[in-house]
Amino acid sequence: MDYSKLNGLIPAVIQDADSGEVLMVGFMNDEALARTRESGFATFFSRTRNTLWTKGETSGNKLAVRDVLLDCDEDTVLVKAERLGGGNVCHTGERTCFSRRLDAR
Amino acid sequence: MDYSKLNGLIPAVIQDADSGEVLMVGFMNDEALARTRESGFATFFSRTRNTLWTKGETSGNKLAVRDVLLDCDEDTVLVKAERLGGGNVCHTGERTCFSRRLDAR
């Protein structure tokens, strides 16, 4: 993995393994990616809190990892996951963080 | 849009509007997003070449924008697009940049 382009971080795209919906984008450092792979639950590095966090650790809406794909440049991962708990991924209570439309054609 | 977290850039996830496949992740600055919206073709900011580039401008494999969604923090966009040309998005000749598996469960 190439963590050099974003000061030790890579973007991690979370996609619903069943519906294909893109749920959120977070950032991982090498420790967060290792934790994600070991624990089986999507874990990120919080840029604002400067710490690891496992999605759903308080809400219960964890993301169970089904698959981790690497891009051609090795600087981004795509995590296919199953939603646990209530299934709402966004802190606003929506199913996905991408719930607002900027443009439609 | 909040461009402050990555020095003027936001990640842009490109998803196939028909199949739901995640094709690639690039970065946009405000100009690249404006160009994407005006032209209808996904346009990124190249961090290595320090310039805008429209995906497919040489290969012909442009990405025609169908929808642009904004995330809850306004620091990431999800672009749903149709593949033009040969339809291969990755410079390796694959349909998607995410063609390698790191883990499977």
Check residue A72 and give its pLDDT: 95
CA distance B4 to B33: 15
What's the length of chain B?
Answer: 105
> What interface predicted TM-score (ipTM) does this complex get?
0.94
Check residue A86 and give its pLDDT: 85
pTM score, two decimals?
A: 0.95
Side-chain-side CA neighbours of A46 within 13 Å: the count stands at 8
B97 vs A66: CB contact, 8 Å cut-off? no
In this structure, what DSSP letter does residue B1 have?
A: -
A97 vs B37: CB contact, 8 Å cut-off? no
Residues of chain B above pLDDT 90, percent:
84
Question: Mind listing the pLDDT tens digit for each residue in A33-65?
Answer: 999 999 999 999 998 899 999 999 998 999 999
Identify the contact set of chain A against chain B, taking CB-CB distances under 8 A. 5-6, 11, 13, 15, 19-22, 24-25, 37, 40, 47, 65-73, 76-78, 90-92, 94, 97-105
